[in-house]
Structures are given as C-alpha cells and as structure tokens.
Amino acid sequence: MAAKTFETLPYELMHGASPRGRGKWTFAPFHLRNIPDAAVQSPEMGFTAAKEWAKRNPALSLFEVIAVLP
C-alpha cells in the first residue's frame, strides 16, 4: 500500500490545535474536501487508529492525500 499523507490544516483552522485524542473523525480526499458527499466518518476511536482506518476505507484508499476535516 502506498504511503498516505494526512492534511490536517482544515481541522487545525477550525479547532486551533492538531487533531488528537478520541472521537469520530471525518476524512475526505483532499481535493474533494469541500464536497460534503465525499466525506466519511470513522467509528469512535483514537486519532492514530482512525488514520489507519481511513487508509483502508474504500472511499479513501485510492487517494494519496487525505484531509482531516473539522
């Protein structure tokens, strides 16, 4: 599997901090980050586990850059 890059700027601009902790995380292909239908939400889990979940998610697995949404 190719390495993925997670772009956290959309999250950081909204929350004023880097993503961390536990919750339901929302991801989208970076170039589709402003299209609500492109977003997928993880089950509740820690951020590190959520990134692994996003890498395996069929809606995101083909994209190199994945945005972490607020």
Share of the chain above pLDDT 70, in %: 97
Domain that holds residue 42: 5-69
pLDDT of residue 2: 61
Question: 27 — phi, psi (to 5°)?
Answer: -125, 155
CA-CA distances (angstroms) from residue 59 to 15, 16, 46? Answer: 25, 27, 20
Number of domains in the chain: 1
Mean pLDDT of the chain: 95
Task: Please report where in the chains the tokens 């395996």 appear, as a residue.
Answer: 56
Q: What is the pTM of this model?
A: 0.92
As given in the structure block, the two tokens for residue 57 are 């998610």
Give per-residue pLDDT as tens, 37-67: 999 999 999 999 999 999 999 999 999 999 9
